[in-house]
A = this chain, B = another copy of it.
Amino acid sequence: MSVTSVPGFVAAGTACGVKVSGADDLAMVATADGTPVTAAGVFTSNRMTAPPVLVCRDHLSASGGRAAAVILNSGNANAATGATGRVDAETMCALTAEAVGCAPHEVLVCSTGWIGYPLPMDRIAPAIPTVVAALDADGGPAAAVAMMTTDKVPKTTVVTGSTTAGGAFTVGGVAKGAAMLEPNMATMLAVLTTDAEVDPATATDLLRDAVGVSFNCLTVDGAESTNDTVLLLASGTAGPVDTADLGIALSDACRDLAVQMADDAEGSTKTVFLTVTGAATDAEAAKGARDTANCQLVKCSWYGEDPYWGRIAAEMGAAGITFDPDTITITYGEQVVYAEGRACDVDEQALAAHMAGRRLDLGVDLGQGDGTAWIVTTDLSHAYIDENMRTS
């Protein structure tokens, strides 16, 4: 049920001492024979881009979209570490390449954890041969565990589809986040594998589209990390596939991981699915959905299980998008709470039952056009503050 559910891929997780707790903090996903395969990545747009992200971009460019392995550490983000950070990320790739038997630019690297501290390379470097030696066809779940920071549970997925020839292809994935870590930075990392045949350019396009309808529709606190990375390795051993079919499988895998992230977000007691319809454009729907999902006031009311639609309406109004207060309709679960410019009579018991659930479904129809957006987010709880008010 992870990256190693795909034939031809191996993975491992181990502890190398980056985390003072002694928990696993070094993970690898690789091809079983060390052969480079099609590789694609989608990265954070944060200007404080962490060195491992810069190295991934360079390596994908130098290799023409090929990679044999991904090395990941948790506990330290290797971010805001300047030239030293760059050297450390390159060293992690070089040591991995040596042990796996590929070129250094055929290795990708991810880090997640504290910002602003150099990596403890004296602990990471000697552990790289160890994690390579531990690579196993059942190692995906161990890799998912070693990626974790404040995650309470590891996140894995597997999705299947049909190849052009009528056979099966598989997409597997491991991920961590999207909540703060250590407990200070929202970083999401995901590594996907597939045996579908796809060229690097198409893989990149499909991965970007899949991220657009999944991880980019997830917001916990509006904070975009310096390290956010989604990688795909595609071996092609299952043969050719219809591009659309692979796109659907990748989107399904990414959406599954994104919802797992929301369910496990720091301090979260509610996973909230917010759908905006009837916007003038998709972009306006997305703006309204994202601003509302990131509004502290709205998040507090979800935590309090309070169906106070006034906040939703006010936040939509503040989003700078087109609508008329008299044409907006707001729905909590099955209950229409606001329509035609006024509060509606509701089944109070049914509404309270919906608000008390672990997952909330909210709908806003703006009554303007065909623009739609979907977002998954979380509430804002005392526990979120507890986890984030101090770094030590």
Contacts and interface: CB of A to CB of B under 8 A. Distances in A.
A384 to B, nearest CB: 7
Interface string A267-306: 0000000000000000000000000001111001101111
Interface in A341-392: 341-343, 380-382, 384-385, 388-391
B80 A388 contact: no
A389 B48 contact: no
Nearest to A386: B382
5 contacts: A48-B314, A222-B296, A300-B389, A306-B391, A382-B382
A381 B390 contact: no
Contacts of A317: 46-49, 224, 226
Interface string A155-182: 0000000000000000000000000100
A77 B391 CA distance: 40
Contacts of A335: none
A221 B296 contact: yes
Interface string A86-123: 00000000000000000000000000001111000000
Nearest to A220: B296
Given A308-B391, A318-B223, A325-B80, A180 B47 contact: no
A81 interface: yes
A338 interface: yes
A382 B390 CA distance: 13
Given A310-B80, A388-B301, A223 B342 contact: no
A111 B163 CA distance: 63
Interface of A: 45-49, 79-84, 114-117, 180, 184-186, 221-226, 294-297, 300-301, 303-306, 308-311, 313-323, 325-326, 328, 338, 340-343, 380-382, 384-385, 388-391
A318 B116 contact: no
A300 B80 contact: no
A16 B325 CA distance: 29
Contacts of A385: 300, 303, 380-382, 385
Given A46-B317, A300-B388, A306-B389, A311 B184 contact: yes
A315 B385 CA distance: 18
B384 A325 contact: no
Given A80-B310, A223-B295, A389-B306, A343 B117 contact: yes
A266 to B, nearest CB: 10
